[in-house]
Chain A
């Protein structure tokens, strides 16, 4: 128990200790996961709307694929992105053929980490959005259409109606990447000052036997997650007096 208490004290000390390296790691974590989340929402919310609101042949299969994607192992995503982006990978060859010059290195950079995290979080956002949109009755969209709504206006109304569920989708997407270590480690490489994020830092400290420091970093990560998720929940609950 002693070790947890001292880790807790250490985490507070670290957080307010003015350690520039630590702040940089926290900042990068938030930046990578934040940008990835925004991109995942751009993909997942429209995709979830279309799958959730339309009836088409093979829809069941598409839903099953999305649900499988929600459980995608980050390590496998990391491995795949690694292989695609590596010097012997297909994208490298394609770039060379098209541009006539070598592609700048993407592996072990922040963009590579973002690519991996977008792949991990997009199915999460899509899957939860899909369920939220499907729970909005089709008649409500018919009603909107009958009052003169275009397809886009109909979609905007549906997303507003499903707002709580879509906030849950965003929270699920964020939760899936802020705590993820397998993929960012593999494609980012945990380079200090460049691609080191909270999770890879914890992994590193653990590997070096600095359990106390690793645990303190872990507590900081959980604390940050709590603050952000709490914000999502507030947004989600706002306007509650108009809820069903």
Chain B
């Protein structure tokens, strides 16, 4: 996981080219190129109706696109290619368990593949253990709770040891508590060796937990692909920024660079950032609001490893539930800070007041501005 992970780490397993899907003359997907790489969890992140699930079904050979080519390991494939489909398994938003026991559900794909009963039983037992449902084989699948049912759905796919796991909003029907637990478990399972997954979600926090790379999709078009930290920290267009709840990335220039720490000029403000880019490079700069700490303007400089300490003015304060989001500016630089409500109360922030903002050089994401499309 690094800033240059917008290219395939491993070899591409699935490549989609010139994919177009039209329903009743309305274009729902128009993606010139999409690559899923070996071993990665690739999140397709987008709002409702953005075409993300359709793209997953097309890449997963569950639906034929109106136009386009899909290659699997370099070989052209279609939805009619059973051998190719056998290499994948899917989990959907609603688990849709079949009538019968947990064991019958999990063994379904193994039966289709003609795996003998004794091996089936062993593999079912092992995978149920892995998803935290050991010993539930004989329970009725339709009497499970929502979280358990989704675990069975995951086990049903995992047991096939698919080359590619397709996950379409697997957690969005679950209540927040179960969701928090499951997202951790999913993340652990997906990061295990050899699991390659396409993970569709509208929830950026979920994407940040599970994914190595992220593609942001809107109106059927992929507008940004890259490593998860880079995409979620450096929104390159106002729409992406708005969607992931950040300010658009800042423009800057690298002034000088010492041992991988660069001084970047943003507006008239100087910011330290970890990057290997050479001086003179025009860059995009982003900082996650959670990485910016605030202190009173008059406070003594606390002992901190944060290289960046800026006196900034509060522009607005937005209540976000458990946190407050404070927009700040100084000398032509605009960033946001996300702080707890208690901290916000203690600082007694008001619009126009001065505060001291702290953030680490490693929290500042920098990317060369060259070749980044803008204004999407």
Taken residue by residue from 84 to 114, chain B's Cβ proximity to chain A (1 for < 8 Å, 0 otherwise) reads as 0110111010101011110000001100110
Q: Does B254 lie at the interface of the complex (its beta carbon under 8 Å from any beta carbon of A)?
A: no
B92 engages A139 (CB within 8 Å): yes
* Contact A242:B101 (CB < 8 A) given known A149-B112, A153-B112: yes
Which residues, 147 to 202 on A, are CB-close (under 8 Å) to B? 147-150, 153, 157, 160-161, 163
Q: Does B75 lie at the interface of the complex (its beta carbon under 8 Å from any beta carbon of A)?
A: no
Q: Which of the residues B86, B96, B109 comes within 8 Å of A139, measured between beta carbons? A: B96
CA distance A69 to B167 in the complex (A): 43
Contacting residues, chain A, for B160 (C-beta < 8 A): 147-148
* Contact A147:B109 (CB < 8 A) given known A139-B94, A242-B142, A243-B142: yes
Taken residue by residue from 103 to 123, chain A's Cβ proximity to chain B (1 for < 8 Å, 0 otherwise) reads as 000000000000000000000
Which residues, 207 to 253 on B, are CB-close (under 8 Å) to A? none
A146 engages B96 (CB within 8 Å): no
Q: Does B21 lie at the interface of the complex (its beta carbon under 8 Å from any beta carbon of A)?
A: no
Q: Does B166 lie at the interface of the complex (its beta carbon under 8 Å from any beta carbon of A)?
A: yes
B100 engages A146 (CB within 8 Å): no
A146 engages B140 (CB within 8 Å): no
Query: What band does the interface of chain A fall in when counting residues whose beta carbon is under 8 Å from B?
Result: 20 to 34
B96 engages A147 (CB within 8 Å): no
Nearest B residue to A143 via CB reads B96
CA distance A189 to B99 in the complex (A): 47
CA distance A85 to B109 in the complex (A): 50
Q: Does B156 lie at the interface of the complex (its beta carbon under 8 Å from any beta carbon of A)?
A: yes
- With an 8 Å Cβ cutoff, the count of chain B residues facing the other chain is 27
Q: Which of the residues A146, A161, A244 comes within 8 Å of B62, measured between beta carbons? A: A146
* Contact A146:B88 (CB < 8 A) given known A137-B96, A157-B98, A239-B99: yes
Contacting residues, chain A, for B94 (C-beta < 8 A): 137, 139
Q: Which of the residues B82, B100, B140, B156 comes within 8 Å of A147, measured between beta carbons? A: B156
A242 engages B100 (CB within 8 Å): yes
Which residues, 24 to 63 on A, are CB-close (under 8 Å) to B? none
A142 engages B156 (CB within 8 Å): no
B96 engages A140 (CB within 8 Å): yes
Contacting residues, chain A, for B166 (C-beta < 8 A): 146
* Contact A160:B99 (CB < 8 A) given known A147-B108, A148-B82: yes
- Which 4 residue pairs across A and B have the least CB separation, nearest first? A146-B90, A147-B109, A140-B96, A143-B96
Query: Beyond the given A147-B108, A242-B101, could you list 12 further A-B residue pairs with CB under 8 A, ordered by the A residue number?
Result: A139-B94, A146-B60, A146-B157, A147-B157, A148-B82, A150-B82, A153-B112, A157-B98, A163-B99, A239-B99, A242-B99, A242-B141
Q: Can you name 14 A-B residue pairings with CB atoms under 8 Å?
A: A142-B62, A142-B90, A143-B90, A144-B108, A146-B60, A146-B92, A146-B157, A147-B109, A147-B112, A147-B160, A149-B112, A150-B82, A160-B98, A242-B140
